[in-house]
Structure 1
């Protein structure tokens, strides 16, 4: 089928504000807005998080992950958990819930594995981006985590709207990668109030030109995606580089020993982050 008209139709729907948010999603967006206020306190954030049990569970899990709890001092209450991870990570988690729930409504059973794989890919990219930001590219690790959690938001929305456009998810995804992702992603990221710096990094990731060694947030995101052990199900395309060539190029320009050392040392941190992000 000709997919571009379908992408354009979905994009117009986003631009017109016709996005139906669940109650849980609205709570997550309310939390996002509250965290942006300069006078927001941990007590208020904890009350808002407590209203969404799934988010509350993930906040505590993130606070107890190796990334935020390297000494194994377990916490079980929201107030302490939020204090430990900070408002930036809490904002990322709240928006991750929004992204994940864009495709959590009435879906055909055949689409559930697609959504699950896309989220596992998202979680791995976010976790790897945070590690790479700290160890290689010297950008804000929490911004890298946020960018990783939001970089597939257009894909979740595409899956959610695919029932209105039969055949949209059939065949390869060349059209999606060339034009569809940006057509849906730009207005969706704006509608969700994603900061400009994160939007720019995600658009850089859509273009797919990884600079090595990575020097910015966009490169960090692309490198994390290239290293993710879980591929995006929306990247089934001849445009993707062969894995062996990709890995060889990365190791050549970063250093095979350095890259292997970083990935080995951070394996536990990445695994614990992915587990904490298992919405």
Structure 2
């Protein structure tokens, strides 16, 4: 009964727009807002990135990934990395830092392991979404990368709250459905996620694929299905049913196999950069 009361309180907070973010996340959000300012000078951006070691390391790693550095010299400095990846992708790196912060202070070993797995899933989904957007679904690739990074923000929030409220996530039936959607919607609002991206992410729950895949939601659906690391917050397949059209498309599509084979280096290097 106490667990149900705790969970109801979290959902009620989300409905009222009162989700509580840790101080570290608020700092990262301020950095993200600064990066969203088109008038922000390069020197100021570089200083802000240098002030966040994780963001600096991830930006340099991304600038050296196969996507951004085909044959050029190895990037070793933040200024060059910022100029190479561009402000839009730097904004995505800041969003990655925000999302990842939710798992950084979890104390429970099992929940920490789940948060680690969820971040690995997120990184692979983001990298695959970038590849699929360029070659399959004709979506803006940078937008797909950003959507992949933030699509599990609600899951990270739930894990962080479960660390404070033991047993909160023991029964997926209590939080996997509409309740998680409410929390995800509020997370999208709180993180100032652009509406087209937020709508695609919220629409993932219970979504089915109508081949050929098109649009941001289908890009994320495919990326999640193809990710080599599963989300620890996903229900077992036998509990949710299988989107047969999605399975058929993945299994019997020679063009998809060819795209993934040719783009494997890009996806691997980008996901590795995100996991720094």
Aligned partner of 2:122 in structure 1 is 122
Which residue in 2 is equivalent to 1:12? 12
Per-residue displacement from partner, 1:11-35 (whole Å, max 9, x unpaired)? 3334453523233x33321221112
Q: Is 1:274–2:271 an aligned residue pair? A: yes
1:102 is the counterpart of 2:99: no
Deviations 1:139-163 (A, max 9, x none): 1101000100001000011011113
RMSD between superposed Cα atoms in Å: 2.2
For the residue of structure 2 that corresponds to 1:9, the secondary structure is: helix
CA contact (8 A) 1:133 1:139 kept: yes
Q: 1:48 & 1:11 partners in 2: Cα distance?
A: 34
TM-score of the aligned structures, taking structure 2 as reference length: 0.91
The aligned runs of 1:61-140 (5 Å cut-off) are 61-140=61-140
Alignment match, 1:211: 210
Aligned match of 2:156: 156
Q: Secondary structure at the match of 1:73?
A: coil
- SS state at 2:38 partner: coil
Q: CA deviation at 1:39?
A: 1.0
> What is the distance in 1 between the residues matched to 2:19 and 2:234?
27
Unaligned runs of 5+ in 1: none
* Residue number in structure 2 paired with 1:263: 260
Aligned residue pair count: 274
1:30-41 equivalences under 5 Å are: 30-41=30-41
- Cα distance change, pair 60–116 in 1 and its aligned pair in 2 (3 A): same
- Answer whether contact 2:129 2:223 (CA < 8 A) is retained: yes
Query: In structure 2, how many angstroms separate the alpha carbons of the residues matched to 1:199 and 1:209?
Result: 18
Once the two structures are superposed, what CA deviation does each residue of 1:90-113 show, in whole Å capped at 9, x if it has no partner? 111101111111122142112111
More moved, 133-142 vs 37-46: 37-46
Map of 2:56 onto structure 1: 56
Name the CA distance, whole Å, in 2 between partners of 1:41 and 1:19: 31
Which stretch of structure 1 is more off in the superposition, 10-19 or 158-167? 10-19
The change in CA–CA distance for 1:27 and 1:73 in structure 2 (over 3 A counts) is: farther
Hey, what's the Cα distance between the residues in 1 that align with 2:69 and 2:13? 42
Which whole-Å CA distance do the structure 1 matches of 2:144 and 2:7 have between them?
A: 28
Q: Secondary structure at the match of 2:86?
A: helix
Deviation, structure 1 residue 164: 4.0
Query: Offset of 1:247 from its aligned partner?
Result: 6.3
Within a 5 Å distance, the mapping from 1:107-256 to structure 2 comes to: 107-171=107-171, 173-237=172-236, 238-241=238-241, 248-251=247-250, 256=253
- Quick one: distance in 2 between partners of 1:4 and 1:130? 39
User: Shift of residue 88 of structure 1?
Assistant: 0.9
Moved more, 221-230 or 103-112: 103-112
Relative to 1, partners in 2 of residues 1:199 and 1:22: Cα closer, same or farther, differing over 3 Å? Answer: same
Contact 1:62–1:276 (CA under 8 A) maintained in structure 2: yes
> Residue by residue, what CA displacement relative to the aligned partner does 1:226-265 show, whole Å, maximum 9, x if unpaired?
111111001133344459x57641136xx52111111111
Unaligned runs of 5+ in 2: none
Q: 1:21: which partner in 2?
A: 22
| 1:205 partner SS | coil
Check conservation: 2:128, 2:227, Cα contact below 8 A: yes
